[in-house]
């Protein structure tokens, strides 16, 4: 079967997908993002969360990401407003001066939460950049992607580990 864009009508016009006939199921998605810090920002993390004039970086990023999850339909034109039943964002130091952000979102609805998870991870990453920009402009967001999803007619997905 040929793949097509679901957000285009047969006439090629943009539209929101009608999910009325879809079954309500439990759905979950996990998305991730990385923020690569410069040496100065990375060293400031040596003792844990960075406290700035704007507040604690990690806590603020988690709050911003959670707010973004709940408002995804306002950001992405054809996303359905969803009842978000669970959202958990974690931020941890990783390799190569990168912070690893993971956003897990859950709902019981007719459509998935991949866009909500991606939006949450992205907003958390953007907040870290905003709060750490005093260390220099050479901060970078990398690898925003869906790690896994469950539920729905397209089935489950698990991103393959990098080789």
Number of Cβ within 10 Å of residue 53's Cβ equals 6
pLDDT of residue 71: 97
The whole-number pLDDT of residue 3 equals 64
pLDDT of residue 48: 72
pLDDT, one tens digit per residue, over 16-56 is 888 888 889 999 999 999 999 999 999 888 767 677 777 78
The domains found in the chain, sorted by start residue, are 25-153 (3.30.70.640)
Between CA 114 and CA 63 the distance in angstroms is 19
Tell me if residue 130 is catalytic: yes
Q: What is the mean pLDDT of residues 109-124?
A: 96
Instruction: Give the model's pLDDT for residue 18.
Output: 82
User: Is pTM, for the whole model, over 0.85?
Assistant: yes
47 CB neighbour count, 10 Å cutoff: 8
| Residue from 18, 49, 130, 156 carrying the catalytic annotation | 130
Q: Tell me how far apart the alpha carbons of residues 18 and 111 are, in angstroms, rounded to a whole number.
A: 10
pLDDT category at 147 given cuts 50, 70, 90 is very high
Predicted confidence at residue 163, as pLDDT, reads 47
What per-residue confidence (pLDDT) applies to 161? Answer: 78
**β-pair partners for 87:** 105
Residue 9 or residue 143, greater confidence: 143
DSSP state of 14: B
The tokens for 98 are 């990168």
Rounded to whole angstroms, the Cα distance separating 131 from 125 reads: 10
What pLDDT is stored for residue 17 in this prediction?
A: 84
What pLDDT score was predicted for residue 141? 98
């Amino acid at each position: 079967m040929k793949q097509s864009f679901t957000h285009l009508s047969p006439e090629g016009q943009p539209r929101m997908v009608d999910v009325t006939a879809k079954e309500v199921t439990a759905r979950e998605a996990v998305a991730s993002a990385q923020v690569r810090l410069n040496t100065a920002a990375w060293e400031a993390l040596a003792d844990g969360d960075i406290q700035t004039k704007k507040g604690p970086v990690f806590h603020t990023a988690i709050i911003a990401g959670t707010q973004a999850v709940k408002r995804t339909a306002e950001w992405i034109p054809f996303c359905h407003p969803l009842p978000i039943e669970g959202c958990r964002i974690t931020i941890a130091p990783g390799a190569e001066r990168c912070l690893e952000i993971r956003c897990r979102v859950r709902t019981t609805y007719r459509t998935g939460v991949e866009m909500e998870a991606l939006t949450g991870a992205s907003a958390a990453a953007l907040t870290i950049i905003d709060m750490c920009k005093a260390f220099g402009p050479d901060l970078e967001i990398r690898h925003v992607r869906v790690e896994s999803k469950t539920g729905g007619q397209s089935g489950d997905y698990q991103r393959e580990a990098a080789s």
